[in-house]
Amino acid sequence: MDNREQALAEIKEKLKTHLIEHLNLQDVSADQIKDDDPLFGGGLGLDSLDAVEIVVVLQRHFGVEIKDMEVGRKVFQTVNSLAEFIYEKTHA
């Protein structure tokens, strides 16, 4: 595993933990959240208020902000896309 993959794996793990805590996902462990499951409209079944919470998680725990709606549309898809975005922002 190279450095990028290792960093991404760590981000995903941390991200899942924060999502469970902040979104109050009951009876869900980090292992049960698949990296490529859709976050909205299926998968985790999140809604727009949860999207607000994810914005807060990204700001508070990863120090990153999404300022563009188109970027947001791409990033708010899966844990993978969120982690990629965080990695790009924090390792630029």
Tell me the closest approach of the beta carbon of residue 81 to another protein, in angstroms: 11
Residue with tokens 């790009």: 88
Q: Which residues pair with 40 in a beta bridge?
A: 46
Measured from the Cβ of residue 77, the count of other Cβ atoms closer than 10 Å reads: 17
- Among 53, 80, 81, 84, which residue interacts with another protein (rule: CB under 8 A)? 53
Tell me the closest approach of the beta carbon of residue 66 to another protein, in angstroms: 5
By CB under 8 A, tell whether 64 contacts another protein: no
Three-class secondary structure of residue 43 per DSSP: coil
Token pair recorded at residue 76: 């708010």
Using CB under 8 A as the criterion, which residues of the chain lie in contact with another protein when the complex forms?
Answer: 22-28, 32, 39-41, 44-56, 59-60, 65-73, 76
